[in-house]
Structure 1
Amino acid sequence: MTSVHIAAGGDDISGADLFFPPLYDIVWSAVVIAIVFFAFWKWILPSFKRVLDERAEKIQGGIEKAERVQAEADAALAEYQQQLAEGRAEAARLRAEAQEEGKQIIAELKAQANAEAERITQAAHAQIEAERQQALVSLRQDVGELATELASRIVGETLADDARAAAVVDRFIADLEASQASGAAAKE
């Protein structure tokens, strides 16, 4: 067997006693462990617990805040999508109104253009009629002068009297119109 000699006491320790310390070491070690355990339990463990509780509260508060922010973001997104849908519907309605207004404006402008064209056509017809009447009066006068001059040459006397000349011209034109009217009636 192996034996260990302890220098201070001079006792020899052998066998299983090598693994077991003396009783006084166990007692004093237990007292020190109890004091350290009591200090740890009394001061250090509550500090750890307080720090862990604060962290848990911060984390829980952060989670609640994140959930609240997420809910607000979801609500804002839903509101945005609703406003976007309303905006699109409003834009479609405005587009339809603008197209309808455009059609009405085009119809009004066409009606105005047709009315203006009709007015211009009527004015042109009136002007043509006035010019025709003026040409007819001028033609009667010229034909009258030519007829008077021709009649003066045929008759051999001067028809300078305006009243006689006018009567001769009117009779000649009436005869001419009557012959034209009978010719037109014969063609039909």
Structure 2
Amino acid sequence: MITPDLIPLASNFLVPNGTFIVELIAFAIIVFLLAKFVIPPINKAMTARQEAIRQQFADLDKAKEEANSAKDEFEAQIADARKEAARIREDAREQGAAIIAELREQAQAEANRIVEHGKTQIEAERQQAVASLRAEVGSLATGLAGRIVGESLEDDARQTRVVERFLTELEKAE
């Protein structure tokens, strides 16, 4: 049997016994094995993962810079295209104004030519009408004068002089 004075020694948890030492050695072996074989691959994997994340952030920053650069280039091209379109519109306006001015000049020249042609034609018709009237008036005047005077004015030279004198007096009277 166990004596009462031995019981307090056996049950004192502060006093290390053999089991405690074996457990301590087993714990140390497990810590050593974990430190030697488990933790380095985990650290290596974590380091690789951190590096991959850093690389992804770097790639993302680079992609943002490229996107901003492409956006700036696109906006510059749009601005250039707008300037070019404005220049082309202005050129078209100037060309249109020049064409309109040229067509106006041509139309004015054509109108002047038509007016001159009309004046010439009217003048020719007037001359023709005057000549026709002179001939008619002359024959009528010589016929009348011959009846009044009682002599024949069949002579062409005389007839022309009489008609001219008559028409001259008529023009002075107007």
TM-score interval w.r.t. the shorter chain? 0.7 to 0.9
- Identify the residue that residue 105 of structure 2 maps to in structure 1: 111
CA distance in structure 1 between the aligned counterparts of 2:32 and 2:118, rounded to whole angstroms = 124
SS of residue paired to 1:136:
helix
- 1:179 aligned partner, one-letter code: E
Deviates more, 1:22-31 or 1:70-79: 22-31
CA 183–78 in structure 1, closer or farther in 2 if over 3 Å, else same: same
CA distance in structure 1 between the aligned counterparts of 2:150 and 2:106, rounded to whole angstroms = 64
Q: Are the aligned partners of 1:148 and 1:169 in contact in 2 as well (CA < 8 Å)?
A: yes
**Alpha-carbon offset, residue 142 of structure 1:** 2.0
Equivalent residue in structure 2 for 1:90, among 73, 84, 88: 84
Structure 1 regions of 5+ residues with no counterpart? 1-5
Alignment RMSD (CA, Å)? 2.8
- 1:79 aligned partner, one-letter code: E
CA 134–12 in structure 1, closer or farther in 2 if over 3 Å, else same: farther
CA deviations over 1:68-112 (Å, ceiling 9, x no partner): 111111111121222222222222222222222222112111111
Structure 2 regions of 5+ residues with no counterpart? none
Q: Are the aligned partners of 2:141 and 2:163 in contact in 1 as well (CA < 8 Å)?
A: no
SS of residue paired to 2:135:
helix
In the comparison of the two structures, how many residue pairs are matched? 171
- Identify the residue that residue 134 of structure 2 maps to in structure 1: 140
Larger RCO: 1 or 2 (CA < 8 Å, sep 6+): 2
CA distance in structure 2 between the aligned counterparts of 1:16 and 1:24, rounded to whole angstroms = 12
- 1:182 aligned partner, one-letter code: K
CA distance in structure 1 between the aligned counterparts of 2:10 and 2:138, rounded to whole angstroms = 173
CA distance in structure 1 between the aligned counterparts of 2:141 and 2:55, rounded to whole angstroms = 124
CA 181–75 in structure 1, closer or farther in 2 if over 3 Å, else same: same
**Alpha-carbon offset, residue 146 of structure 1:** 2.3
**Alpha-carbon offset, residue 126 of structure 1:** 0.7
Asked whether 1:48 is paired with 2:38, we answer: no
Q: Are the aligned partners of 1:148 and 1:168 in contact in 2 as well (CA < 8 Å)?
A: no
CA distance in structure 2 between the aligned counterparts of 1:113 and 1:141, rounded to whole angstroms = 41
CA 66–140 in structure 1, closer or farther in 2 if over 3 Å, else same: same
- 2:126 aligned partner, one-letter code: R
- Identify the residue that residue 175 of structure 1 maps to in structure 2: 165
Give the TM-score normalised by structure 1.
0.77
- Identify the residue that residue 125 of structure 1 maps to in structure 2: 119
Structure 1 residue ranges (4+ consecutive) displaced by more than 4 angstroms after TM superposition: 11-16, 18-22, 155-159
Give the TM-score normalised by structure 2.
0.82
CA distance in structure 2 between the aligned counterparts of 1:130 and 1:43, rounded to whole angstroms = 127
